[in-house]
Chains A and B, each alone.
Chain A
Amino acid sequence: MADWPLFEVFIRSKHGLNHKHVGSVHAADRSMAIENARELYTRRNEGVSIWIIPASEITASSPDEKEPLFDPSNDKVYRHASFYKLPKEVGHM
């Protein structure tokens, strides 16, 4: 199976929801990857749509970059609705 590339599988579980990563399959090509993903990840109505992508095509952030990537958003509390205190009279906003 070493000559069968690895594909990552994403499933949309219901109409209106995002595709979500569920795992991976090996396959000879993309259409076989869809068939394998269907057999493996949607045997019980788990999905209405499948995406597959060659695992080698994914670029991921590295855990070492966690600080430069995500820390800057920590100190911007004013980006959250809860930062703005409003009087009770305003009611739900």
Chain B
Amino acid sequence: MYAQLVETGTSKLKSLDEMGPEERQFQERINDEIKIEPKNWMPDAYRKTLVRQISQHAHSEIVGMLPEGNWLTRAPTLKRKLQLMAKIQDEAGHGLYLYSAMETLGADRDEEIDKLHDGRAKYSSIFNYPTLNWADMGTIGWLVDGAAIVNQVPLQRTSYGPYARAMIRVCKEESFHQRQGYQILLTMMQEGTDDQKAMVQDSINRFWWPSLMMFGPSDENSPNSAQSMVWKIKRHSNDELRQRFLDQTVPQLELLGCTAPDPDLKYNQETGHYEFGEIDWQEFFDVVKGNGPCNRERIEARRSAIDNGAWVREAAVAYAAKRQRKAA
């Protein structure tokens, strides 16, 4: 999930009877699966929750370009380099679709980006892990984008219209990401040397647990989920989505001929689901709070991109003004 721990600012769910007429009408609209659009009345907490979630989602896409950018100049072939560049450009695009959806709620893009840079806004924990070998490009596409797809498919039906429509675009592009990633790993496993195969396993060992953490805390530690579900921003619980991801991923793992770093991983014949070991939640909360392996580096990279690009933005404004003067 690209949005983890999104505060709703509400402590207790209201029943329809406890709501004023406007809020009641709003909730009934949601219950009837009618999308909420920018100009419709909405409770302040719904608006704020969405701004938090959509901005966090957008920030994740933008920060998510960095771990892959690390390998652009080191891609093994020109073909792989072009593919990786296309994927990274998509992620920039996804970030922009989402910022654009967020602005329909009256939020200011610069202000939300400031919040990312000074640590008030979060982004997905997964992007705070380093990319140490080429196989990581495969693993990120397969596991990280795979987990993102499981999360984003239901978001296409989320209650806020502009968010849902942005997610439809994102999902269309995301399956290219996952397939290109899996193909990188498959090629290394089928045609690679022993060293290259070992790289794949090493990469999976490092990204396996962080990928499962992408879905956010377990349901009993997810105090904001209930309100988000009533508002239909969220459609499935964290644990439900995590399970769905695991069930589809383990057979792909086996097809690669690799293993998961989880001795407790096993198939349960009765339930038809895979069971897995305990997630290290301390690690998850540490990373979310800013103390993962790459948090500081990521934010520093974003800040310097904005600062070092200032002259480009100024030049563009000056050029636009000059062109306008000439036309006048």
A2-B108, A4-B313, A4-B317 known; A25-B100 Cβ under 8 A: yes
Would you call B18 an interface residue if the criterion is a C-beta within 8 Å of the partner chain's C-beta atoms?
Answer: no
**CB contact under 8 A between A60 and B323, given known A2-B110, A4-B313, A40-B96:** no
Asked if A28 and B40 make an inter-chain contact with CB atoms under 8 angstroms apart, the answer reads no
Instruction: State whether the Cβ of B90 lies closer than 8 Å to any Cβ in chain A.
Output: yes
Contact (Cβ within 8 A) B317 A28: yes
List B residues 308-328 near A (Cβ within 8 Å): 313, 316-317, 319-320, 323-324
A9–B166 CA distance with the chains assembled, in angstroms: 13
Nearest-Cβ distance from residue A69 to partner chain B, whole angstroms: 13
Cβ A60 vs Cβ B320 within 8 A: no
- Interface flag for A91 (CB, 8 Å): no
From B41, B100, B316, B324, contact of A24 by CB (8 A)? B100
- Selected contact of A63 from candidates B40, B86, B93, B100, CB within 8 Å: B40
Closest residue of chain A to B172, judged by CB? A44
Which chain B positions have C-beta within 8 A of A28? 313, 316-317, 319-320
CA–CA, A60 and B165, complex, Å: 19
Determine how close the nearest CB of chain B comes to the CB of A24; give it in whole angstroms.
Answer: 5
User: B93 touches which one: A1, A24, A43, A62 (CB < 8 A)?
Assistant: A43
- Residue ID in chain A nearest B109 by CB atoms: A1
Given the known inter-chain contacts A4-B313, A23-B166, A28-B320, please indicate yes or no for A43 contacting B89, CB distance below 8 A.
yes
Interface members, chain B 93-110 (any A CB < 8 Å): 93, 96-97, 100-101, 103, 108-110
* Contact assessment for A23 and B100 in the assembled complex, using a CB-CB cutoff below 8 Å: yes
How many A-B residue pairs have C-beta atoms within 8 angstroms? Tell me: 51
Residues of A within 8 A of B (CB): 1-4, 6, 22-26, 28-29, 31-32, 39-40, 43-44, 60, 62-63
CA distance A49 to B173 in the complex (A): 21
Given known A-B contacts A1-B109, A24-B103, A62-B39, A40 and B97 have beta carbons under 8 A apart: yes
Measured between C-beta atoms, what is the minimum distance from A64 to chain B in Å? Answer: 9
Interface string of B73-101 (1 = CB under 8 A from A): 00000000000001001100100110011
Name B318's closest neighbour in chain A (CB-CB). Answer: A28
With beta carbons under 8 angstroms apart, the residue of B37, B97, B313, B324 that contacts A23 is B97
- Minimum CB–CB distance from B27 to chain A (whole Å) comes to 16
A29 — which chain B residues lie within 8 A by C-beta? 320, 323-324
Q: Is the CB of B319 within 8 A of A25?
A: no
Query: Which residues in B have their C-beta under 8 angstroms from that of A62?
Result: 39
Expressed in whole angstroms, the Cα–Cα distance for A38 and B89 within the complex equals 13
In the docked arrangement, what's the CA distance between A2 and B313, Å?
11
Beyond A24-B100, A24-B103, A28-B320, 16 additional pairs, beta carbon < 8 A: A1-B109, A3-B317, A4-B317, A23-B100, A23-B169, A28-B319, A29-B323, A29-B324, A32-B320, A39-B89, A39-B93, A40-B97, A43-B90, A63-B37, A63-B39, A63-B40
Could you say which residues of chain B place their CB within 8 Å of the CB of A6?
Answer: 103
CA distance A6 to B96 in the complex (A): 12
Is A60 a contact of B39 with CB atoms below 8 Å?
yes
Q: With both chains docked as a complex, state the minimum distance between the C-beta of B204 and any C-beta of chain A, in angstroms.
A: 30
- Point out the residues of chain B lying under 8 angstroms from A43, CB to CB: 86, 89-90, 93, 173
Shortest Cβ gap from A1 to chain B (Å): 6
Name the residue of chain B whose CB is nearest to the CB of A23.
B100
In the complex, how many angstroms separate the beta carbon of B210 from the nearest chain A beta carbon? Answer: 28
B176 to chain A: closest residue by CB: A44
Residues of A with C-beta under 8 A to B320: 28-29, 32
The smallest beta-carbon distance between B19 and chain A, in angstroms, is: 18
In Å, the complex CA distance between A22 and B101 comes to 11
> What A residues does B319 contact at CB under 8 A?
28
Instruction: Report the minimum CB–CB distance from A74 to chain B (whole Å).
Output: 17
Interface residues of B in 213-255 (CB under 8 A from A): none
